[in-house]
Copies of this chain bind each other. A is one copy, B any other.
Amino acid sequence: MERVDLAKLLEDVRTGAISAEDAQLELLRWPFADLSFARVDHHRALRQGMPEAVYGPGKRPEQCAAIVRELLANGTGPVLLTRADDAQVAAALATSPDGTVTGDPGGRLGALVSWRRASPRREVVTVVTAGTADLPVAAECRATLEAYGFEPTLLADCGVAGLHRLLASYDVLASSDAIVVVAGMEGALASVVGGLVGAPVVAVPTSVGYGASLEGVTALLAMHASCAPGIGVVGIDNGYGAACAVARMLR
């Protein structure tokens, strides 16, 4: 995948292949489209090799639809609408009808809608959840991984209160190229998985649990204080971010 080359742009100016005015224009205008309420970053796919993503909350339905349409019209890679409420999903599908709705539609996290899918990847990615209640976050993560071309394996409900449930899938863990651990409450599953295998582990604290769970802060802190070294943690309930972290690792 080619990248923006500042030196080449300057060289083109020197050789006259492009005028200085045009170069400046290109540098400033090309990488995004200004929709007045949003500066759509067409440059990201080139720069990062990531799908374009539109974060729903705080945007009006028609804004979501317009940004999605702009991204689909001016690129060829996957496009995602994340954390979308029903009105946002409806508006986006009305103008860009072939999207797939997954995630947690109508639920706590909202829907993830995806258009187009990257070419298939052969690396093995596993998503493990501590409990059934962590599944919406895992769903967001899986759908994002699928947009990237992965076919992740899901191991649900492997919390450490019944270690044998996790150990029974030791082979799956041991053969993974990357593992996403999705856990709320005390988040101990990340430490245990991180201690069992040497693969990269991305830990996603979830807001599942009550009382001392503090809406996921406890799990976030615990994952950071983990006695198993080398675990990377993403934000609370951030299944999308965890998938992006995996995609960065396995470029």
Binding site for B on A (CB under 8 A): 3, 6-7, 10-11, 13-14, 16, 19-20, 23-24, 27-29, 31-32, 36-39, 41, 43-44, 47-50, 53, 55, 57-59, 63, 67, 83, 130-136, 156-165, 167-168, 170, 174, 184-188, 191-192, 194-202, 205, 207-214, 216-238, 240-241, 243-249, 251
Contacts and interface: CB of A to CB of B under 8 A. Distances in A.
Nearest to A134: B58
Contacts of A133: 55, 57-59
Given A132-B58, A186-B187, A220 B224 contact: yes
Contact of A136 (B58, B202, B236): B58
A104 to B, nearest CB: 10
Contact of A245 (B32, B41, B164, B230): B230
B156 A37 contact: yes
A33 to B, nearest CB: 10
Contacts of A210: 57, 83, 235-238
Contact of A241 (B11, B36, B229, B235): B229
The 6 closest A-B pairs by CB, nearest first: A232-B232, A58-B133, A230-B244, A211-B236, A188-B188, A212-B224
A57 to B, nearest CB: 6
Contact of A31 (B165, B212, B224): B165
Contacts of A229: 50, 53, 161, 240-241, 244-245
Nearest to A28: B168
7 contacts: A6-B24, A10-B20, A210-B235, A219-B222, A224-B235, A225-B235, A233-B234
Contact of A219 (B225, B237, B249): B225
B20 A208 contact: no
A186 B226 contact: yes
Contacts of A156: 36-39
Nearest to A41: B162
A7 B31 contact: no
B235 A232 contact: no
Contacts of A186: 186-188, 191, 221-227
Contacts of A163: 163, 192, 195-196
A202 B200 CA distance: 12
A168 B29 contact: yes
